[in-house]
Chain A
Amino acid sequence: MSELLQTPLHHLHVALGAKMVPFAGYSMPVQYLMGVMQEHIHTRTKAGLFDVSHMGQVIIKGADYPTAAMALETLIPVDILGLKPDRQRYGFLTNDTGGILDDLMLANRGDHIFMVVNAGCKITDLAHMKAKLSGVQITEITDRALLALQGPSAQAVLSELNPMAANMRFMDVTSLSLAGSECWVSRSGYTGEDGYEISVPTAQAEALAKRLLSHADVEPIGLGARDSLRLEAGLCLYGQDLDDSLNPVEASLTWAIQKVRRTDGARAGGFPGSEIILPALDQGVTRHRVGLKPEGRAPMRHDVPLFQSENGGEQIGIITSGGFGPSIGGPVAMGLVADGLHQPGTVLYGELRGKRLPVTVTSLPFLPANFKR
Chain B
Amino acid sequence: MKFTEEHEWLRPEDDLIVVGITEHATTQLGDIVFVELPEVGTTVTKDEEVVVIESVKAASDIMSPIDGEIVEVNSALADNPALANEDAIGAGWFFKIKPSDASQMDSYMDEATYNALIS
Q: What residues of chain A have their CB less than 8 Å away from a CB belonging to chain B?
A: 30-31, 35-38, 40, 224, 228, 297-299, 301, 323-324, 326, 331, 353
Contacts and interface: CB of A to CB of B under 8 A. Distances in A.
Interface in B30-77: 30-31, 33-34, 36, 52, 54, 56-59
B102 interface: no
B99 interface: no
Contact of A224 (B30, B52, B59): B30
A299 B54 contact: yes
Contacts of B59: 299, 301
Contacts of A37: 30-31, 33, 56
Q: Which of B31, B34, B58 has the most CB of A within 10 A?
A: B31
A117 B29 CA distance: 30
Report, as a range, how many residues of chain B touch the other chain.
10 to 19
B81 interface: yes
A322 B76 CA distance: 25
A35 B31 contact: yes
A245 B34 CA distance: 33
Contacts of B56: 35-37, 40, 224, 228, 323-324, 326
Q: Which of B34, B36, B57 has the most CB of A within 10 A?
A: B57
B54 A298 contact: yes
B78 interface: yes
Given A228-B56, A323-B56, A353-B52, A299 B34 contact: yes
14 contacts: A30-B57, A31-B30, A35-B30, A36-B56, A40-B56, A224-B57, A297-B33, A297-B78, A298-B34, A298-B36, A299-B34, A301-B59, A324-B33, A326-B31
A31 B27 CA distance: 12
Contacts of A35: 30-31, 56
A322 to B, nearest CB: 11
A331 B34 CA distance: 9
Contacts of B54: 298-299, 324
A293 B58 CA distance: 18
A323 B30 CA distance: 13
Contacts of B58: 301
Given A224-B56, A324-B54, A299 B33 contact: yes
B93 to A, nearest CB: 18
B85 to A, nearest CB: 9
Contacts of A301: 58-59
A273 B31 CA distance: 43
A30 B56 CA distance: 11
A36 B34 contact: no
Nearest to B57: A224
